[in-house]
Amino acid sequence: MLGSSAQLLLSLTGIASGLYAPHPESCKSHPGTASWPSAKTWAALNRTLGGRLLQPPPPGAVCHPSQPAYNETQCSQVGQAWKTYEFHAGNPISVMWDRFENYTCLPEENAPCSSAGYPAYVVNASCAEHVKIGIDFGHDYLGRSNSPGSLSIWTHHLNDITYNEGQFKLYGSGKVLRGNSITVGGGSEMYDIYSAADKHGQAIVGGGGKTVGIGGYITGGGHSILAPRYGLAADNVWQMEIVTPRGDIVVANEDRHRDLFWAMRGGGGSTFGVITSVTLKTHPSPKILSVAFMIITDPKESFVLDLITFVTTQIPNLMKQGISGYNIVTRDMQSPIQLPGVPDRVAGFMGTCIFQDVDSPDVIAKAFNPINETLRERWPNKVQFYTLVTEYDSWLGWFDKNFDGSQAGGSSYIVSRLLDGEALTGNSKKLKNALQAAMTPGGSMSLFMVAGKGVQEAKPRGGRNAVNPAWRTAFVHALTSASFGPFNKTAEKDAIATLQREFQPLRDLTPKSGAYINEALPFETEWQKTFWGDNYNKLLRIKRNIDPTDVFWCSPLSHIII
């Protein structure tokens, strides 16, 4: 559930990409070069923007006496807030993970500090026209949300939210779509949208973190614990306002700018345009029956992998009964709860699952009893099965207690794979071997039950969208990560190599599948197939048509420029 408040970037620099660039390379201006815009030029841009051009210092600079922004009191405050998503979302140049800034200014006095890893200027956009002005001024795009020597467009304040009750008329079309919807600014964050929809008894398919920005979430596809019922977020988009690479402000829907509408729903962010607003279908806010559970044993038991594999094979059947959720499988970890009889270290399968709009808690027993019976038969008195059931009157009520509370800052890489029914139930021996390898980096991995029927049978507006076709057969989004310390290139390379190596058996188990681009390893060797599948060639044609000069360039997303 990675994400951040939306921050887009128009770099004025160029980077040679010999492996991927098909066109003659041309380096563009960057700070310190003769071609870098003069102070008068930047001042003119600021006037055009009505004073909305920012030149902020690195947020960690307040901790460095050598920096003009040094402030001992603020340093303490920044240090405390650094690991919160809210701090980074509210800063015009900061990003959630330190490695994306190349550790150029951590809030630590003994660390180096410069502005080299940050945008040089920021357009504080509050309307589509501000985005257009920024795009017209910029020349190239490097990175998904941050790059040195760049003009960044901060969409954090594109956050208007309007609820549309009963119907919605498509712009430039005679069609009126029946049902409720919500129109939100491209920089709107998930919790604000959830809260606005909840006032009308509605919910959207959205992310698991409060500060997830809607723009990047939608363009990647957008998984959700509600997706097994309603489809991915991209499947629920009715209309978008987009600023194109040419600086045109357009409205895209199933009848206007169809290719752009198709591509922007799942085809990858930072590539085809900047979303300044999006209209999403809403759904009646469901009552939630939440089940926190643990199926655990002693990590020293010889059958640990067999236990994990067995429960994993039951996921398709559980999801067909209306269950979705976020799970962890582990060979050895600290127990998340302390109860009599529960050891300090545990192994097994655990997580939080939900049922939506069910009449009775009896559905829990119906779903899990077959699993429990097998546990008793195969491993009598060796496996413990704990459940904690909580009922919530609304989706927002559940989210308030169960949102992603992980920390920002730090450095890690994620690797992921979408698992279909064949992978989960076809060959338990191969599945066991793949799970064993995938748990190697950290001793555990996540199995998110966020696909299934709703995603497989989704009917997006216009018939189709650019979501990775692997989602349409998947049940599970499987992922794991590897962490490393700052300023340690060797450890970083080792982390990447470990993830590549240990996740390969899962790739081999799912040769026709792929990965969710918003939560994936950037260094996938078969990135075209992994991230886009059969949609790649169409996305390539659209990219070449709407952005022939590569105004937007993003690795790996704009590898589709090849």
Question: What digits encode the pLDDT tens for the residues 381-398?
Answer: 999 999 999 999 999 999
pLDDT band at 17 (very low <50, low <70, confident <90, very high): very low
Instruction: Average the pLDDT over 216-243 and give the result.
Output: 98
| pLDDT of residue 541 exceeding 50 | yes
> In this predicted model, which residue has the larger pLDDT, 13 or 82?
82
Number of neighbours of residue 17 by Cβ within 10 angstroms:
16
> In this predicted model, which residue has the larger pLDDT, 265 or 342?
265
Q: What is the DSSP letter of 285?
A: P
Question: What digits encode the pLDDT tens for the residues 37-79?
Answer: 889 999 999 999 999 999 999 999 999 999 999 999 999 999 9
| pLDDT of residue 121 exceeding 50 | yes
> In this predicted model, which residue has the larger pLDDT, 472 or 16?
472
**CA–CA distance, 52 with 398 (Å, rounded to integer):** 38
Question: What digits encode the pLDDT tens for the residues 488-503?
Answer: 999 999 999 999 999 9
Which contiguous run of DSSP H or E holds residue 255? none
| 332 to 50, 151, 301, 381: CA distances (angstroms) | 57, 46, 11, 19
SS (H, E, C) 385-404: EEEEEEEECCHHHHHHHHCC
Residue with tokens 């190596």: 501
Q: Do the Cβ atoms of 144 and 557 come closer than 8 Å?
A: yes
Q: What is the DSSP letter of 56?
A: P
Instruction: Average the pLDDT over 411-431 and give the result.
Output: 97
Phi, psi of 153 (to 5 degrees): -105, 110
| pLDDT of residue 7 exceeding 60 | no
Angle between helices 489-509 and 428-438 (to 10 degrees): 170
pTM score above 0.75: yes
* pLDDT value of residue 140: 30
Which contiguous run of DSSP H or E holds residue 134? helix 128-137
Residue-range domains of the chain with CATH: 7-154 (no CATH), 161-285+536-561 (3.30.465.10), 288-533 (3.40.462.20)
What six digits make up the tokens of 287? Answer: 């009552």
Residue with tokens 């978008």: 240
Give the range among 141-155, 409-423, 530-544 with minimum mean pLDDT. 141-155
* pLDDT value of residue 551: 82
pLDDT band at 34 (very low <50, low <70, confident <90, very high): confident
| Residue % of the chain over a pLDDT of 90 | 81
Question: What digits encode the pLDDT tens for the residues 236-285?
Answer: 999 999 999 999 999 999 999 999 999 999 999 888 999 999 999 999 99
**CA–CA distance, 562 with 558 (Å, rounded to integer):** 8
**CA–CA distance, 94 with 15 (Å, rounded to integer):** 21
pLDDT band at 341 (very low <50, low <70, confident <90, very high): confident
Give the start-end residues of each E strand in 186-299: 202-203, 237-243, 249-252, 274-281, 283-284, 288-297
| pLDDT of residue 560 exceeding 90 | no
What six digits make up the tokens of 435? Answer: 């799970």
Residues with Cβ within 8 Å of residue 280, at least 6 apart in sequence = 181, 182, 183, 184, 204, 205, 233, 236, 237, 238
Q: Do the Cβ atoms of 112 and 98 come closer than 8 Å?
A: no
pLDDT band at 426 (very low <50, low <70, confident <90, very high): very high
**CA–CA distance, 142 with 404 (Å, rounded to integer):** 28
**CA–CA distance, 344 with 354 (Å, rounded to integer):** 26
Q: Do the Cβ atoms of 514 and 524 come closer than 8 Å?
A: no
Q: List for the chain the helix, strand, coil content (%; round to 5).
A: 35, 20, 45
Phi, psi of 271 (to 5 degrees): -135, -45
The three-class DSSP label of residue 190 is helix
**CA–CA distance, 407 with 81 (Å, rounded to integer):** 10
> In this predicted model, which residue has the larger pLDDT, 555 or 386?
386
* pLDDT value of residue 33: 79
| 142 to 102, 145, 270, 371, 455: CA distances (angstroms) | 14, 8, 9, 49, 32
* pLDDT value of residue 332: 95
* pLDDT value of residue 65: 96
Question: What digits encode the pLDDT tens for the residues 505-523?
Answer: 999 999 999 999 999 999 9
> In this predicted model, which residue has the larger pLDDT, 2 or 537?
537
Angle between helices 128-137 and 39-48 (to 10 degrees): 160
Give the range among 229-233, 408-412, 541-545 with minimum mean pLDDT. 408-412
Question: What digits encode the pLDDT tens for the residues 132-147?
Answer: 999 988 633 223 445 5
Instruction: Average the pLDDT over 105-118 and give the result.
Output: 93
What six digits make up the tokens of 487? Answer: 């300023």
Mean pLDDT in the chain? 91
* pLDDT value of residue 502: 95
* pLDDT value of residue 137: 86
Phi, psi of 456 (to 5 degrees): -65, -35
Question: What digits encode the pLDDT tens for the residues 288-301?
Answer: 999 999 999 999 99
What single-letter amino acid sits at 388?
Answer: L
Phi, psi of 30 (to 5 degrees): -150, 165
Instruction: Average the pLDDT over 209-229 and give the result.
Output: 96
* pLDDT value of residue 2: 39
Q: Do the Cβ atoms of 135 and 551 come closer than 8 Å?
A: yes
**CA–CA distance, 299 with 292 (Å, rounded to integer):** 21
Phi, psi of 355 (to 5 degrees): -110, 145
Number of neighbours of residue 249 by Cβ within 10 angstroms:
17
**CA–CA distance, 187 with 431 (Å, rounded to integer):** 40
pLDDT band at 371 (very low <50, low <70, confident <90, very high): very high
Name the residue among 237, 317, 232 with its Cα closest to residue 275: 237
Residues belonging to the chain: 562
Residues with Cβ within 8 Å of residue 555, at least 6 apart in sequence = 17, 20, 142, 143, 522
pLDDT band at 340 (very low <50, low <70, confident <90, very high): confident
* pLDDT value of residue 21: 35
Interstrand relation of 150-154 and 121-124 (parallel, antiparallel or unpaired) = parallel
Q: List residues bridging with 417 in a β-sheet.
A: 478
What six digits make up the tokens of 349? Answer: 């399968």
